[in-house]
Copies of this chain bind each other. A is one copy, B any other.
Amino acid sequence: MILHGYYRSSASYRVRIALNLKGLTASHVPHHLRKNEHKASDYLALNPQGFLPALVTDDGRVLIQSLAIIEWLNDTHPEPALLPEDPFERAQIRAFALAIACDIHPVQNLSVLQRLKREGLPQDRIDFWARDVIEKGLDACEILARPDTPFVSGDTPSLADICLIPQLYNARRYEADVARWPRLTAIEARANALKAFADALPEKQPDAEP
């Protein structure tokens, strides 16, 4: 498999964690977001959205959208399960993942912040925007995470944890007040103690910059 990604792209980071949890390997092809490499015509031919990541399967088919890729990995490589069997529990984990993947990350990602800059917002208001979206979003996640399990909703990492850890990474990058999320940061510490999460960290990737 080939993973088209970028070391600091949250969505690529999610897929790296999922691949590691499943014990799968992929060749990583980096596309530098700030140099607009994801808008090059050869990449747009793979993904008309021009967003990262895209996964090319062993038989040459292309999948886009990190959550769809992770569900596909889970459907085709069931162990270890990233979603529980029970439909209600599965829906709760998907809801947690979507609360991040729909309502936090897309509103604070680079393309929106660049759009704000083009609209003339000063840098301090752009930084506030990113931090405020992350803080309000993760405040809800702190309530949604189960209080009685080591991970977001169980004894092992799920799709919810796969979305949470990259979002917390972004929270620190934008200097959000992480102390307000004792439950989420405890989950983060447990997750990052696992090799699957540690190896997926942005700074561990070959395209990482100092």
Contact = CB atoms under 8 A, between A and B. Distances in A.
B106 A90 contact: no
Contacts of A139: 48
Contacts of A69: 91, 95
Given A72-B91, A88-B72, A119-B121, A107 B98 contact: no
Given A76-B87, A102-B106, A119-B129, 5 more contacts: A49-B137, A50-B140, A72-B90, A75-B90, A98-B101
Contacts of A115: 129
Range of interface residues on A (Cβ < 8 Å) = 35 or more
Contacts of A67: 94, 98, 102
Interface of A: 48-51, 57, 61, 63-65, 67-69, 71-72, 75-76, 87-88, 90-92, 94-95, 98-99, 101-103, 105-107, 112, 115-116, 119, 121, 125, 129, 137, 139-140, 143-144
B75 A94 contact: no
B119 A125 contact: yes
A137 B71 CA distance: 22
A95 B48 contact: no
Contacts of A57: 88
Q: Give the secondary structure class of A's interface.
A: helix
Contact of A99 (B49, B61, B107, B144): B49
6 contacts: A49-B99, A49-B103, A51-B103, A57-B88, A65-B102, A107-B112
Contact of A65 (B68, B76, B95, B121): B95
Contact of A95 (B64, B105, B106): B64
A104 to B, nearest CB: 9
A75 B48 contact: no
Contacts of A68: 91-92, 94-95, 98
A164 to B, nearest CB: 15
A71 B49 contact: no
A195 to B, nearest CB: 26
A87 B65 contact: no
